Structure 1
């Protein structure tokens, strides 16, 4: 047989040349910035590495985490209470919750923290008529004021997250639980909350991470034992603000990265049961019975059916 002519291979043009050019440009700019920053003495890299693991900064990071945890607890508990009040048929309770949200969501958190720091100038004690309660010990404690200021502000945002999560559960789920003889508490625990958590958890994780960074504003009270406040004190003594700001940014970045990983696994935990995995045989039987294939069902090959 005669030799067949060799097949011609046609060169295919690059589908998205501008994407490649843009990606290369970004890589070049990032490399230039890193090299330039490494050579720039104004960054003070020597001071940066000297104070990166300083004991004062490490202790300040613990203060930051504690403030964030306590404020988030107040925010979650207060958010649940406010969400219940917003959903209450009582117009007075609903109005009280609305006014709270209007004030704390409508004013900057920095202004609120400054006001909390000046609260001792307004109230030294509370006169109940039969007794007088001194507030000097509470209103002069910067740590307590920082936790309360951040916590109440966070409660205003968490209330909307909780309310939207509870409202996303269909009424039929609650009615079915009541038909099975479940009380209100068991219905919330076994039916409503497990489904609402898929809506509540992602924004709550974001709020927690945002609250950690917002804690740097408690210097307005003033409370300077957290990361940013301590870094500011050290930089004021050294007259080198840039390397200490980089130290503070590094600590915030590390802590938020850890929290993001925890948020990822927490979301995966509450997403269980949102999708179903069926074998090809089970899927064929389901299709024959219903005539349709649900979109949220993934297929497992028959070779894995026995696993």
Structure 2
């Protein structure tokens, strides 16, 4: 019996359906299980003091560093989204100056590594020793550009360049005909934005923005190079003292994996919520079109 004859179609009454065998799936599954078992056994019997992992998992220094990691993730993403929205609108503007400035911003900050940008912000005092308004307020740049502000600007400004392209793509994905149709039935510009453009844009950009948030969580570890006290920097300071390198790295891995898991669940929930909102908005527009007709 061929594979086509095994499909259960309405006109195949009386034909016995035969399931195809997939021996390769079983072989692949067994290999994966064996590999995971060996990996688990290697870590369980390796030279890892798991008691140190449990001890430092709730240490005050680690919790403080993890709190700084979350704080920097939230603030840098907020700055990145704000700058990204502004840059996206400027890129879509008919004003050539605004479009060129936004394009230059995106080109520079997407073209240089985050690591490099963090060092540039942190060492800004080498170029501008003093910052402020002459005669009104002045301060030494080295006092202003602390590791916190250097990390926030380095991560947030760079993120804005990537977010700008995500938002711009989301806005361009909305069919222009829908906007014209909404205006034709008498919807104001704010109504078109709220009921037509924004719901569809949010639905399109939510997955990539969610990925950017997860990426930002991990990129905060780069701020250790400028001595920002996030979890990786704190862990390194501890293992320089007790020489428990792998144990401290495992502690950091647990925190990162747990946070990414929660963020992924939240992203999935938000995507479903926005999907329902889009369906309701589309239904409302259809009703208004019917009333207008």
For residues 192-247 of structure 1, give each alpha carbon's deviation from its aligned partner in whole angstroms, at most 9, with x where no partner exists. 00111110111111100110011100112221x21111111111111121110111
In 1, the alpha carbon distance for the partners of 2:212 and 2:240 equals 31
For residues 73-112 of structure 1, give each alpha carbon's deviation from its aligned partner in whole angstroms, at most 9, with x where no partner exists. 1111111000001101111111111111111111111111
Higher helix share: 2
Alignment of 1:58-69 (within 5 A): 58-69=63-74
In 1, the alpha carbon distance for the partners of 2:135 and 2:186 equals 49
| Unaligned segments of structure 2, at least 5 residues | 1-17, 281-293
Confirm or deny: 8 A CA contact 2:183 2:192 kept in the other structure. Answer: yes
Confirm or deny: 8 A CA contact 2:88 2:164 kept in the other structure. Answer: yes
179-188 or 100-109, which deviates more = 179-188
1:21 to 20, 27, 34: 27
1:265 to 253, 269, 275: 269
RMSD: 2.0
Equivalent residues, number: 263
Alignment of 1:151-300 (within 5 A): 151-223=156-228, 225-272=229-276
In 1, the alpha carbon distance for the partners of 2:41 and 2:20 equals 31
Q: Residue 302 of structure 1 aligns with which residue?
A: none
In 2, the alpha carbon distance for the partners of 1:135 and 1:200 equals 40
Could you say what secondary structure the match of 1:272 adopts? helix
Structure with more contact order per residue of length (Cα contacts < 8 Å, sep ≥ 6): 2
Q: Residue 5 of structure 1 aligns with which residue?
A: none
Q: Residue 119 of structure 1 aligns with which residue?
A: 124
In 2, the alpha carbon distance for the partners of 1:34 and 1:185 equals 56
In 1, the alpha carbon distance for the partners of 2:141 and 2:257 equals 37
For residues 22-66 of structure 1, give each alpha carbon's deviation from its aligned partner in whole angstroms, at most 9, with x where no partner exists. 11011011101101211112x232221211111211121111111
In 2, the alpha carbon distance for the partners of 1:145 and 1:204 equals 23
In 2, the alpha carbon distance for the partners of 1:203 and 1:84 equals 18
Could you say what secondary structure the match of 1:30 adopts? helix
Confirm or deny: 8 A CA contact 1:197 1:270 kept in the other structure. Answer: yes
Q: Residue 84 of structure 2 aligns with which residue?
A: 79
Structure 1 residues 135, 179: CA separation in 2 closer, same or farther (over 3 Å shift)?
A: farther
Could you say what secondary structure the match of 1:181 adopts? coil
| Unaligned segments of structure 1, at least 5 residues | 1-11, 277-307
Confirm or deny: 8 A CA contact 2:76 2:153 kept in the other structure. Answer: yes
Could you say what secondary structure the match of 2:138 adopts? strand
TM-aligned CA deviation for residue 147 of structure 1: 1.1
Q: Residue 136 of structure 1 aligns with which residue?
A: 141
1:104 to 102, 105, 109: 109
Could you say what secondary structure the match of 2:232 adopts? helix
In 2, the alpha carbon distance for the partners of 1:273 and 1:140 equals 43
TM-aligned CA deviation for residue 182 of structure 1: 3.3
Q: Residue 30 of structure 1 aligns with which residue?
A: 36
In 1, the alpha carbon distance for the partners of 2:138 and 2:186 equals 48
